[in-house]
Structure formats: C-alpha cells, structure tokens
Amino acid sequence: MRTAIYPGSFDPVTNGHLDVLQRATKLFDQVIVAVARSESKRPLFSLEERVRMVVRATQHLPNVEVDSFESLLLTYAERRSAQAVVRGLRAVSDFEFEFQLALMNRKLNDRIETIFMMPKDTYTFLSSRLVKEMAQLGGDVSAFVPAHVREALAARFSSRPA
C-alpha cells in the first residue's frame, strides 16, 4: 500500500490544490490530505471548517482521506505509515522555500520522500491568499474554488466589516 500525505493550511481549499491532489491520487493507493492547524498564520477559517471544506471537495475521489495534524509533519507522516509527502509547485517563487523545506525534512527523516507536482497551467497563479483577497473585495472567485467554498467565503465576508 503506497500512501502519500498532502499537507497544507487549505485556508481555503482551491481548485489548484484539488488539481494537484487529483494527480497524486493516480500515483498512490491512498492520499491523505493533512490540514495543518497553522495557528501562526492566523487562518480565516477554523481547522474544523477547513477540514469540512476539503471533505466536501474530495467526496468524488475514493482514495482520499482528510485529516488534520498539529505535530511535526514528518512525525505525522511516520505515524500514518506514509512513504511520501506531496507538495505543489506553482512557480519559481515557490521553489526556494519548498526546496529548503524538503531538504530539512530529509535530514529529519530519510525514509519519506517529498514529491513535487505542478498544477494545470491555469492554476499556477492561484493561491488561497489571493482568493481571500478577491472575495473580500467582492470579486467573483467561482473559477478558482468549488461552489461551497465560494459560498463560505461570501458568508464570512458579509458578516465582517470591510
């Protein structure tokens, strides 16, 4: 059984995340989307909300499980008996940080490989941060996130002063 972990904040999950995830499901028997608590990033959505949005967005993918974690990623990956960690690479700007992280993780645990996957070109500019900014300013984000995420963003920003 080949298992990969796809970790991230997913605040909120976007079509770019889902594109990478779908590609990963073809390479592994099981992919665990691991939503990080990421308290220091002051997420817009709570951990439970982010998990729920990913669950709903991945219902059609039979070999995907959604979980959350608070520990060190490699500790979590080891506990889940994963062989690999999947990360998305959008542009050169992602590379330096991801490269550092992957090598640091290899120092911590040489048994788990980091695998980089590129999304469809139309998603290479997409990030959760930009989607949040657009939604907050009343922009149409329907091309970038699933419908239920668009609704959650609209609800969140309509209940907050601009």
The stretch near ligand ADP (CB under 6 A) out of 26-34, 105-113, 122-130, 134-142 is 122-130
Which of 9, 50, 87, 128 is catalytic? The answer is: 128
Task: For residues 34 and 119, give the distance between their C-alpha atoms in angstroms, rounded to a whole number.
Answer: 18
Chain position carrying tokens 């605040």 = 11
Beta partners for residue 5, in sequence order: 32, 85
| 21-60 footprint of ligand ADP as x/- string (CB under 6 A) | -----------------x----------------------
Cα distances from 53 to residues 32, 48, 101, in angstroms, run 15, 9, 26
Residues near ligand ADP (CB under 6 A), total: 17
Binding segment (CB under 6 A) for ligand ADP, from list 52-60, 62-70, 106-114, 119-127: 119-127
Residue 113: what residue type?
Answer: E
Choosing from 18, 53, 90, 150, the residue that interacts with ligand ADP (CB under 6 A) is 90
Token pair 């904040």: residue: 9
Cβ of 121: how many Cβ atoms within 10 Å? 8
DSSP letter at 132?
Answer: H
In the residue annotation, 90 being an active-site residue is answered as: yes
10 near ligand ADP, judged by CB under 6 A: yes
Active site residues: 17, 41, 90, 128
